Amino acid sequence: MTTHKRYWVFGLMFFAIFINYMDRVNFSVSIPAIRHQFNFSLEQMGTIAFVFTIVYALFNFPGGYIADRLGIRLGMVTSLGWWSLFTIMTAFSGSFMGWLWIRGLMGAGEAPIWAINSKSSRTWAAPQERSRAFTIPGSGQYLGPTIGTLLAGWIVVRFGWQWSFISFGILGIAFLPVWWAVVRNTPKEDPRVSQAEREKIGIPPVQSQKGDWEAALRVVFSRTGLGVLLTFLTFGYILFTFITWVPSYMYYTFHIGIIKSAAWSSIGFAAGFIGFLLSGPFNDALTHRFDRLKARRIGSGLPMTAMIVAVSLSLWSASAHSTVGTALFIGLAQFCMNLTVGSWAVNAIDIAPSPESSGLVYGIYNGVLNVMGAFNALILTWLATRWGFPAAFGSAIFFMLLFLVGILFVIDRPSYERLVAKGSSAFEVTASHD
């Protein structure tokens, strides 16, 4: 009898990412209330966001290594338990320095989440379904803010900003025993997985958990590796512009309350969630029709070009003082942004030199993405303080153009195909020991 245990793994991975981004968005929603209580400036809030993200980014590098060493089962319990604890402790921050310490420690705990998702898609998914296995769980990145924005807005107004952090942190801790009971590192470690499903996945029953730093760095500093690096770097600025600052954009640009700004922001997050869900099937369909590199370029280039148009229209709408138009165009932009993810992000998985190093390679790239995301907090709040949030959001267009340069011109076919072939051969050699 064929089992479908891998879908349970992907489903719980989705919920873990959902919790992760709920825990982040409550800060974005709570910014006006926190500023009012502590008399923080917008740039101080940007500094708090910077510290969270820079620590998160720096811990992505060892985070990928930790995911390879601990495996996805223990790695998730360690990571999620840590960040949930510090989510709760955020409610008890009493000073600016306290905010920096607690948010920084929370960022350290969240760091391995995407490396764990990368590793789960590499070890539990068949190659032809790998894009969906990565992006469908990853769509929790946007469903979390969609629901979390509305829920946090209601909690902040009804009970106070502290309770949004406490309640979201408790949810994360409650999820830990579920993950531990259901998930195993590999199909071979799980007796509930049938032989037919193992053959369908086509991966080794037991893998060394040790990532190879030297091989990973050779990949990163190849021409294609640098092109992938540029896409991750620029996407970091684009992503954090939208996932962190839309509630503040709506609140301060249109002078509406916390609940209304959260409600308008949730439209964009919902659109982003749909884009994330569609990105896997969209890019898998392109891969069936075109060769892999051409499919990745089309799947990244067309939606990103449409995003540039949507952001430009949102700036025009904001200048016309249209709350509805701005929210809808921002939503369209986030839909287009996330439609790209199933193409450029899985490049990091495809070019990994071996299954054992997939978490490590993705951790390096995701660390770079989040370093840029950290500096986004400083740059964007500096621009918003001087010229307003519409101008600050417009700065993302520059990074969208650089993203297109990376995916279309820096990644070259000979280097790309050589890395993919080498990674696939390592995968097949390891699998042959089943």
DSSP summary character for residue 5: H
- Spatial neighbors of 419 by CB under 8 A, at least 6 apart, are 219, 222, 224, 225, 350, 351, 353
Q: Tell me how far apart the alpha carbons of residues 332 and 306 are, in angstroms, rounded to a whole number.
A: 9
**What angle, rounded to 10 degrees, do the helices at 223-254 and 5-38 form?**
50
Span 382-390, average pLDDT? 93
Among residues 226, 13, 300, 244, which one has the least CA distance to residue 135?
13
Position 153, amino acid = G
Write down the pLDDT at residue 211. Answer: 56
Q: Which of 106-110, 328-332, 340-344, 361-365 has the lowest mean pLDDT?
A: 361-365
The sign of the dihedral angle between the CA atoms of 421, 427, 429, 432 is negative
Among residues 150, 340, 111, which one has the least CA distance to residue 239?
340
Indicate if the pLDDT at residue 369 is higher than 60: yes
> Structure tokens of 395?
């700065």
Q: Tell me how far apart the alpha carbons of residues 269 and 423 are, in angstroms, rounded to a whole number.
A: 35
Position 23, amino acid = D
User: How many residues can be counted in the chain?
Assistant: 434
Contact in structure between 28 and 245 (CB atoms under 8 Å): yes
Q: Which of 64-78, 162-176, 224-238, 381-395 has the lowest mean pLDDT?
A: 64-78
On the CB side of 403, CA atoms within 13 Å amount to: 33
Q: Tell me how far apart the alpha carbons of residues 156 and 133 are, in angstroms, rounded to a whole number.
A: 35
Is this prediction's pTM over 0.75? yes
Among residues 246, 339, 238, which one has the least CA distance to residue 25?
246
Position 408, amino acid = L
Position 391, amino acid = A
Write down the pLDDT at residue 277. Answer: 85
| Domains of the chain, each with CATH number or no CATH | 5-185+222-428 (1.20.1250.20)
User: pLDDT tens, 129-150?
Assistant: 877 888 789 888 889 998 999 9
- Compute the radius of gyration of the chain from its Cα atoms: 21
Three-state DSSP state, 191: coil
Three-state DSSP state, 423: helix
Give Cα 297 distance to the centre of its chain.
Answer: 20
User: pLDDT tens, 35-49?
Assistant: 999 999 999 999 999
3-state helix, strand, coil in the chain (%, to 5): 85, 0, 15
Indicate if the pLDDT at residue 431 is higher than 60: no
Contact in structure between 67 and 119 (CB atoms under 8 Å): yes
- Spatial neighbors of 8 by CB under 8 A, at least 6 apart, are 182, 183
Q: Which of 83-87, 330-334, 428-432 has the lowest mean pLDDT?
A: 428-432
Q: Tell me how far apart the alpha carbons of residues 48 and 58 are, in angstroms, rounded to a whole number.
A: 16
The sign of the dihedral angle between the CA atoms of 299, 302, 307, 310 is negative
Q: Tell me how far apart the alpha carbons of residues 36 and 41 are, in angstroms, rounded to a whole number.
A: 9
Q: Tell me how far apart the alpha carbons of residues 130 and 359 are, in angstroms, rounded to a whole number.
A: 14
- Spatial neighbors of 35 by CB under 8 A, at least 6 apart, are 41, 42, 45
Q: What percent of the chain has pLDDT over 90?
A: 63
- Spatial neighbors of 239 by CB under 8 A, at least 6 apart, are 337, 369, 373
